Amino acid sequence: MADQAERLRAIVKENMTNVNPARVITITSGKGGVGKTSFAVNLGITLSKMGQKVLLVDADLGLANVDVMLGMIPKFNLGHVLLGEKKIADILINGPEGIKIIPGGSGLYKLANLGEKKLTQCLEHLNELEKTTDIILIDTGAGLSKSVLKFVLAAGEVIIITTPEPTAITDAYGIIKVIAGTKRELPIRVVVNMVKNEKEAGEVMERLSAVTQRFLGMDLVRLGFIPSDTVVPKAVKQQQPFVLSHPRSAVAQSVMEMANQLISGDVPITTGPLSFFERLLGVFKQVDQTNENIPK
Ligand SMILES: Nc1ncnc2c1ncn2[C@@H]1O[C@H](COP(=O)(O)OP(=O)(O)O)[C@@H](O)[C@H]1O
Ligand SMILES: [Mg+2]
């Protein structure tokens, strides 16, 4: 076991020397259906248009649907890589504007159970991929599950999506509380989706910030808001990202502003010397898998 860990570290070190590790941003929420996937896809494409090399990882175990939103049908997923049938390069989907997508993330969960040889190979390929990437966006499932937490723990940054619905705000606080308890140094950005107007977004942000400040002593960063707009479900139906089908819409403009903010602000990047996939493997091994749900 110690041997294996050492060898993995050596591989990672060798691969990552002189390379800026990619920024890893997990996109998550307390409640489902708040717009994580729409946001992740459109943000990824926008960042890519701005010159960033973007890798989008579809890590929603239950409802992996980045591919569906883009009208793409992946033939293979990470599971095939883990079985040794495919290379990472073979399963990557080339999305619009040069973004790359790792489809249907359930295979990621098998990483921890791989034998040493396959694991080493797999990590080498993933590290290779990370070398040519600026930003890795992870679209996760909703809720306080340990699998979501693993991605949050391995990432350097997190974006929480909420809507003005009281249940969505309460659940957003729930996940912020868990993050605060496990990885307090992580900068937490919030996006308020499906708002009537900026005023409503401000009120939601205030409510969430107040409880977070009062009970956790932590500040949240307001990344932005997205208005509720029929353009979004229309685009989903057409399997066309709205930043491409309706680039002048208010929703597309909001995403552009947030992308801009993400790459222009000086964000403390808390990645450390290990590659993202190495850190992910570490937390997969650490976090106890017996009880999927974390009590609130
Ligand atoms: N800003 C918005 N305005 C209107 N509808 C939206 C908006 N954002 C998301 N939706 C709709 O909400 C539904 C859920 O979005 P999705 O991105 O799949 O959420 P999640 O990934 O959080 O489950 C989709 O039908 C989508 O069209
Ligand atoms: Mg989703």
Rounded to an integer, the average pLDDT of 190-199 is 98
Distance (Å) of CA 222 to CA 159, 160, 185: 10, 10, 16
DSSP strand pairing (54-59 vs 100-102): parallel
Q: Is residue 290 part of a domain?
A: no
Whether 134 has a pLDDT exceeding 80, the answer reads yes
Q: Is 36 in the pocket of ligand 1 (CB under 6 A)?
A: yes
Q: Is the CB of 33 under 6 A from ligand 1?
A: yes
89 occurs within a structural domain: yes
d(CA 88, CA 222): 35
**Backbone phi, then psi, for 61, in 5-degree steps?**
-60, -45
16 within some domain: yes
- Listed residue (188, 252, 203, 197) closest to 38, CA to CA: 252
Model confidence at 135, pLDDT cuts 50, 70, 90, reads very high
Q: Is the CB of 38 under 6 A from ligand 1?
A: yes
Ligand 1 centre to CA of 272 (Å) is: 34
Runs of H (alpha helix) within 33-77? 36-49, 66-69
**Residue 160 included in any domain:** yes
Within-domain flag for 209: yes
How many domains does the chain fold into?
1
> With the CA atoms of 271, 17, 105 and 165 taken in that order, what torsion angle do they form, in degrees rounded to the nearest 10?
20
Ligand 2 center–CA 148 separation, angstroms: 12
State which amino acid sits at residue 270. T
Work out the pLDDT band at 193, boundaries 50, 70, 90.
Answer: very high
Give dist(CA 189, CA 159) in Å, integer.
5
Is the confidence at residue 259, as pLDDT, over 60?
Answer: yes
Question: Tokens 């990557």 label which residue?
Answer: 92
Does residue 296 belong to any structural domain of this protein? Answer: no
Terminal CA-to-CA distance of the chain, rounded, Å?
A: 34
The SS3 of residue 197 is coil
Whether 293 is in a domain gets the answer no
- Taking the centre of ligand 1 as the mean of its atom positions, its distance from the CA of residue 250, in whole angstroms, is 15
Ligand closest in space to the Cα of 230? 1
What is the span of the domain harbouring residue 190? 2-285
Q: Is the dihedral angle over the CA atoms 148, 287, 122, 52 positive or is it negative?
A: positive
Q: What is the Cα–Cα distance from 141 to 150, expressed in whole angstroms?
A: 12
Helix 36-49 with 250-264: angle, nearest 10 deg: 60
Q: Which atom of ligand 1 is nearest to the CA of 194?
A: 1
Instruction: Calculate how far, in angstroms, residue 228's C-alpha sits from the geometric centre of ligand 1.
Output: 9
Where is 136: in which H helix or E strand? strand 135-142
- Nearest 5°: the CA angle 252, 45, 40 is 80
Ligand 1 close to Cβ of residue 43 (< 6 A): no
Ligand 1 atom closest to Cα of residue 226: 1
CATH value at residue 259? 3.40.50.300
DSSP state of 255: H
Distance 63 CA to ligand 2 centre (A): 6
Q: Which ligand is nearest to the CA of 161?
A: 1
The pLDDT value recorded for residue 100 is: 94
**Amino acid identity for residue 222 in this structure:** R
Question: Does any domain span residue 294?
Answer: no
Predicted confidence at residue 283, as pLDDT, reads: 73
> Ligand 1 pocket, 162 CB below 6 A?
no
Question: Phi, psi (5° rounding) for residue 109?
Answer: -75, -15
Q: Does position 232 have pLDDT exceeding 80, yes or no? A: yes
pLDDT of 277 > 70? The answer is yes
Please give the average per-residue pLDDT across 20-27, as a whole number. Answer: 85
| Cα–ligand 1 centroid distance for 8 (angstroms) | 39
What ligand is nearest to the CA atom of residue 34? 1
| Average pLDDT for 270-290 | 67
**Residue 106 exposure: Cα atoms within 13 Å on the Cβ side:** 8
Q: What is the pTM of this model?
A: 0.87
- Sheet containing 23-29: which strands, arranged edge to edge? 93-94, 100-102, 54-59, 135-142, 23-29, 157-162, 188-195, 221-227
Confidence of residue 18 (pLDDT cuts 50, 70, 90): very low
* Residue 173, pLDDT above cutoff 90: yes
Distance of CA 183 to the CA centre of its chain: 16
- What ligand is nearest to the CA atom of residue 192? 1
Q: Which amino acid residue places its CA nearest to atom 2 of ligand 1? A: 228
CB of 212 closer than 6 angstroms to any ligand 1 atom: no
- Which helix (H) or strand (E) covers residue 58, if one does? strand 54-59
Listed residue (277, 238, 279, 293) closest to 126, CA to CA:
277
What atom in ligand 1 is closest to the CA of residue 235? 27
Ligand 1 neighbour 57 (Cβ under 6 A): no
